[in-house]
Amino acid sequence: MRRHLLSLSLLFTPVVALAAPKNIIYMIGDGMGPAYLSAYRYYSDDISTKTVENTIFDELWQGVASTYPDDDTYVTDSAAGATALATGVKSYNGAISVNRQHIPIGTMMQLAKRLGKANGIVASSQINHATPASFLAHNKSRRNYNEIADMFLDYRINGMPVADLMLGGGTDYFIRNGRDLVSEFKELGFQYTDSWQQLDTLTKTPALALLAETALPAALNSKQDKQLATLTEKALQLLTPAEKGFVLMVEGSQIDWCGHDNDIACAMAEMNDFAKAIAVAKAYVDNHPDTLLVITADHETGGLSLGAAGEYKWLPDVVKQVKATGRSIAKQLKQAGSDQDALALWSDLTSISLNDAEKAELLSTRKQDEDTLRKLSNKLVAKYSFTGWTTGGHTAIDVAVLAYGKDAKNFAGFQDNTQIAKKLIQYIQQTK
């Protein structure tokens, strides 16, 4: 079909020779479609001024990218999207840097390791989730979490794992019945912590921090301020001494999860967490001009629209007042004692005044399962903020490409997601 011919033509499209930055910071907002960037702009707006202020996303925007996988659907999942962003080659949904024949495709971090660069990954998910996994491992299915975690240790280049630094969640996969990967990493010389309070004990690479059993807490629920920014700052601190430079991938993993839940308050909190991490990276580039920062998304999630139900308005102030994710709200409502307690809790967590019919529906749904209650909670927040969603899955919408620092303009205009990776791989190939 024509689209397959197109993917082949992209694969062999020559990339203009570019002067190579020493360091690459590659940031991926999972599920972060262009409407998320618009929403975050209005969500962040200072209403005391007459103008709508630009966000850090607006300041760094260079172009857009297509995201389709190697099939006839046009709609990618995170594994195929990350495979394209890590290797420059498209594959099927669910693939972790393998092709349709399950043959491994080399990743930019594997190349960087062979050439003497340091590699790091930071994620707000478990670190063996689809996006970080696609930079470090190969597997026919993203769901094989234990196999992927094993490969983080077992796949060696120059005698060591591909990643010199891994920060995120995932103790359930790295300390499990039958294998204690953390102990094995320690035997290889990795410093390790599972505590935010002990993050400063990581003083050099190689280093590993697993700060949750699976994913980190959702930003809106977290007691840890600036989760992703804190980890990004630590990663840059530890990678900076690398003589030949480094490649660092930072994923705002849970933007996508909020989109799947159609939870706009959750999504904006994750966008804010990601924006703070980008600010850390941008400041690093300002102080290290031989560094390139590239930011994009693997796909869009949820079919987000700002404005719904035929109304010409979107109300971010409603979103700002929500204090917890829909999942957390549902859990707390289920645990509330009386119906009166539940309604008071709803008011405290959302500041949304429901009409009598909505109150009755909320109380009736409270008797059902937690997931049904979560869906209603998110639906009500969407209704009162005039937020629209078309799906609980992904869409084929193009995503933004942002860049800053050395050669940032080479990412301007339209490109396929594989072209982003090809340019970065060419930089890495010039390592001296």
Residues 277 and 354 both lie in one domain: no
CATH (domain of 74): 3.40.720.10
> Which one has a higher pLDDT value, 304 or 10?
304
Task: Give DSSP secondary structure letters for 108-140.
Answer: HHHHHHHTT-EEEEEEEEETTSHHHHHHH--BS
Residues 425 and 321 both lie in one domain: no
Q: Which two tokens stand for residue 329?
A: 């709200």
Residues 56 and 36 both lie in one domain: yes
Residues 177 and 236 both lie in one domain: yes
Residues 98 and 21 both lie in one domain: yes
Residues 198 and 82 both lie in one domain: yes
CATH (domain of 349): 1.10.60.40
Q: Which two tokens stand for residue 259?
A: 């989109």
- The predicted model scores a pTM of 0.95
Residues 369 and 292 both lie in one domain: no
- Return the half-sphere exposure (C-beta side, CA atoms, 13 A cut-off) of residue 282: 16
pLDDT band at 68 (very low <50, low <70, confident <90, very high): very high
Residue % of the chain over a pLDDT of 70: 96
Q: Which two tokens stand for residue 323?
A: 């204090």
- What does the pLDDT average to over 333-344? 97
- What does the pLDDT average to over 322-336? 98
For this structure, is 78 an active site residue?
yes
Q: Which domain holds residue 338?
A: 306-388
Distance of CA 188 to the CA centre of its chain: 28
pLDDT band at 377 (very low <50, low <70, confident <90, very high): very high
Q: What pLDDT shows up at residue 18?
A: 56
Q: Cα-flanking dihedrals φ and ψ of residue 107, to 5°? A: -105, 165
What are 258-297's pLDDT values in tens digits? 999 999 999 999 999 999 999 999 999 999 999 999 999 9
CA angle 369–372–376, rounded 5-degree value: 140
Residues 421 and 316 both lie in one domain: no
CA separation (Å) from 229 to 86, 192, 250, 324, 383?
A: 22, 19, 10, 20, 32
Residues 299 and 316 both lie in one domain: no
- What does the pLDDT average to over 124-146? 99
> Which one has a higher pLDDT value, 4 or 84?
84
From the list 44, 66, 78, 124, the catalytic residue is 78
Q: What pLDDT shows up at residue 134?
A: 99
- What does the pLDDT average to over 372-385? 99
Residue 341 has pLDDT above 50, yes or no: yes
Residue 12 has pLDDT above 50, yes or no: no
Distance CA 81, CA 66 (A): 10
What are 155-178's pLDDT values in tens digits? 999 999 999 999 999 999 999 999
- What does the pLDDT average to over 390-414? 98
Residue 14 has pLDDT above 50, yes or no: no
Residues 317 and 253 both lie in one domain: no
- What does the pLDDT average to over 335-339? 95
Average pLDDT, the chain: 96
> Which one has a higher pLDDT value, 252 or 15?
252
Q: What pLDDT shows up at residue 432?
A: 86
- What does the pLDDT average to over 137-155? 99
Residue 323 has pLDDT above 60, yes or no: yes
Distance CA 108, CA 88 (A): 9
Residues 282 and 326 both lie in one domain: no
Q: What pLDDT shows up at residue 315?
A: 98
pLDDT band at 5 (very low <50, low <70, confident <90, very high): very low
Residues 146 and 12 both lie in one domain: yes
- What does the pLDDT average to over 362-376? 98
Query: Checking DSSP bridges between strand 165-169 and strand 175-176, what pairing results, if any?
Result: unpaired
Q: What pLDDT shows up at residue 15?
A: 46
Number of folded domains that form the chain: 2
